[in-house]
Amino acid sequence: MIIVLLGPPGSGKGTQAKRLISEVKWPQLSTGDMLRSAIGAGSQLGKEAKSFMDRGALVPDSVVVQLIADRTRNEDCRAGFVLDGFPRTLPQAEALDQMLATRGRGIDHAVLFDVPDADLLERLTGRRTCAKCGAMYHLQAAQPKKQGICDQCGSALIQREDDRAEVIKKRLEVYHAQTSPLIEYYKKQEKLKTVNATQAPDLVFQAFKKILY
Ligand code: AP5
């Protein structure tokens, strides 16, 4: 199964993708995580991506399309994969459809995690992530047992550079201008499913799974 996760920054795409892949064999392909790894590794790609990400802008389509084209050739994607944060523009969605068609495949569902903008600022400014294993926390809603330390691997929790209020505002603008047209795109293909993602994470996950199996 090939699943696209759609939704504004902070809507819970990463949270729900992680829950899903703990139950199924498909990998989570997060372009945001891939780009942050490239930044961490100090590669040329990382240097270029950082200048866009730090100001809340999208990295050029050609860069992310190539990342996904390469990554989905891996053996672990044969049975399916979960796209988290890709596609994010109409050209990316069209490139994905074309790429999958040449491989005799296609996406099964585009799942929209629906949350109003008013809820997102608090979610994102409060988010903390493990620098080592990527586990996710929230200062109020999902606290680690020991402040600032990951429950799973004991490493330090960090705040993402783009989770500052002024950058979040820009990311939301970018989402509405460049990514939200994908809702109509997948509606026309009859692949769009919407989940009320204002509910608690467990309830969101139940609704998400009902769509899939
Ligand atoms: P990316 O890393 O993809 O960020 P994003 O889409 O902005 O999404 P987030 O990771 O911020 O949020 P999420 O929906 O995954 O929510 P999460 O589960 O973490 O992209 C970052 C940047 O990379 C982009 O700005 C761009 O520059 C670049 N980029 C990436 N992909 C690209 C592409 N395809 N094209 C071009 N550029 C690209 O949850 C957030 C918080 O809320 C957490 O603290 C969590 O604990 C909490 N939470 C989750 N669910 C709930 C709930 N139900 N109730 C209460 N709190 C909740």
Give the whole-angstrom CA distance, residue 10 versus residue 49: 20
Q: Whose CA is nearest to atom 43 of ligand 1?
A: 127
Assigned token pair, 111? 């799942």
How does pLDDT run across 112-153, given as a tens digit for each residue?
A: 999 999 999 999 999 999 989 989 999 998 999 999 999 999
Determine contact, residues 58/150, Cβ cutoff 8 Å: no
Assigned token pair, 135? 């586990």
**Alpha helical stretches, state H, 55-200:** 61-71, 90-102, 117-125, 165-174, 181-188
> What local confidence, expressed as pLDDT, does residue 141 receive?
86
- Residue 12 pLDDT > 90: yes
How does pLDDT run across 82-99, given as a tens digit for each residue?
A: 999 999 999 999 999 999
Quick one: DSSP state of residue 131? T
Length of the chain: 213
Indicate the top mutation candidate among 33, 127, 151 to test ligand 1's pocket, ranked by most ligand atoms within 8 A of CB.
127
Across the range 174-181, mean pLDDT stands at 98
> What local confidence, expressed as pLDDT, does residue 66 receive?
97
Q: What is the pTM of this model?
A: 0.96
Give the whole-angstrom CA distance, residue 109 versus residue 82: 10
Indicate the top mutation candidate among 5, 6, 11, 15 to test ligand 1's pocket, ranked by most ligand atoms within 8 A of CB.
15
> What structural domains does the chain harbor?
2-27+74-116+176-212 (3.40.50.300)
How many Å from the N-terminal Cα to the C-terminal Cα in the chain? 11
Q: Whose CA is nearest to atom 1 of ligand 1?
A: 32
**Average model confidence (pLDDT) for the chain?**
96
CB count within 10 Å of CB 43 equals: 12
Beta pairing partners, 82: 3, 28
When pLDDT is cut at 50, 70 and 90, the band that residue 167 belongs to is: very high
- Residue 27 pLDDT > 90: yes
When pLDDT is cut at 50, 70 and 90, the band that residue 25 belongs to is: confident
When pLDDT is cut at 50, 70 and 90, the band that residue 201 belongs to is: very high
